[in-house]
Amino acid sequence: MEKHYVGIDLHRRRSVIFTMDAEGQRLGCKRIANEPMALVEAVTEFGAEAEVVIEATYGWYWAVDLLRDEGLNVHLAHPAGNDWGKRRVKNDERDARDLADLLRLGRLAEAWIAPKETRELRELVRYRHKLVDLRTGLKTQVHAVMAKEGVLPAFGEMFGPGGNAQLDAMDLAEPYTIRVESLRDLIAVYDREVAMLEARHPPPPERRPRLRGHPGHPRGGPRPGGHLRGGDRRRHPVQGSRGFELVGGARPSTS
């Protein structure tokens, strides 16, 4: 059968599959539930010589991997790189048709389909970045509570040994004390999860941050206590299912 073009407008539960021939004439359009067999059948309805295009949006991994495993030539459309023109009507069928038409005309801006191994590594790197961002937000809240009580931070790093000593000694009203203690507990949990990810995939040596107290740090050699917090403030250590225990809130990385 002659080459034809299939555009897929992928959604979370259902998708629209639009097929056209080499002249741009419609061959068919289906709305399917997102099940592997249903997707393969819809895409190959007019033959296995299809050139398939799917936009690099929410949840595309499984669909692209499935179709490539079936031997289909799959293209990944760049979400921000294509010129959709002035469309008075925008719906799922129109989106799928336009994707197929851009591919047919050779005007499709494509994104790189990263190998599975690269995507899996990206998943962990992005997740660590997200955890560090969330942890930073928790630390910012601690500073905000201190400001409400007029307490100035005595250290630039309030979650190192000196800063933790100040936090331990703060005499705040009960609501503020409860909030700060809760925030510090949550920070310790995030520390544990970030440490787990870094243990699985440590950064290259030349890109690892040098901690104060490390012989290679520009501001000095070993220090008592290394990069761990001083004192055991916590009522209970945070015990993780992976065997980590953070007593006093060990700080395995910077944020």
Q: What is the pLDDT of residues 107-153, one digit of tens each?
A: 999 999 999 999 999 999 999 999 999 999 999 999 999 999 999 99
Q: Residue 116 CB: number of other CB atoms within 10 A?
A: 10
Residues 4-105: name the CATH superfamily: ATPase, nucleotide binding domain (3.30.420.40)
Q: Are 5 and 91 in contact (CB under 8 A)?
A: no
Distance, in Å, from the CA atom of 102 to the CA atom of 83, rounded to the nearest integer, reads 9
Instruction: Kindly indicate the confidence band of residue 80, based on its pLDDT and cuts at 50, 70 and 90.
Output: confident
Average pLDDT over residues 61-76: 96
Instruction: Kindly indicate the confidence band of residue 46, based on its pLDDT and cuts at 50, 70 and 90.
Output: very high
**Do strands 73-77 and 238-239 pair parallel, antiparallel, or not at all (unpaired)?**
unpaired
Distance, in Å, from the CA atom of 255 to the CA atom of 253, rounded to the nearest integer, reads 7
Q: Residue 224 CB: number of other CB atoms within 10 A?
A: 7
Q: Which amino acid is at 105?
A: L
What contacts 151, CB < 8 A, 6 or more positions away? 170, 172
53 three-state secondary structure: strand
Most confidently predicted of 30-39, 153-162, 199-208: 30-39
63/204: higher pLDDT: 63
Structural domain spans, the chain = 4-105, 116-246
Query: 204-255 pLDDT, tens per residue?
Result: 666 555 555 555 544 444 444 333 333 344 444 444 433 434 433 444 444 4
Distance, in Å, from the CA atom of 34 to the CA atom of 15, rounded to the nearest integer, reads 6
* Nearest of 222, 221, 225, 230 to residue 161 by alpha carbon: 230
- Quick one: pLDDT at residue 228? 34
- The mean of the pLDDT values for the chain is 83
- Quick one: pLDDT at residue 233? 40
User: 20 pairs with which residues across the strands?
Assistant: 5, 26
Handedness of CA 57, 59, 65, 67 (dihedral sign): negative
Distance, in Å, from the CA atom of 42 to the CA atom of 40, rounded to the nearest integer, reads 6
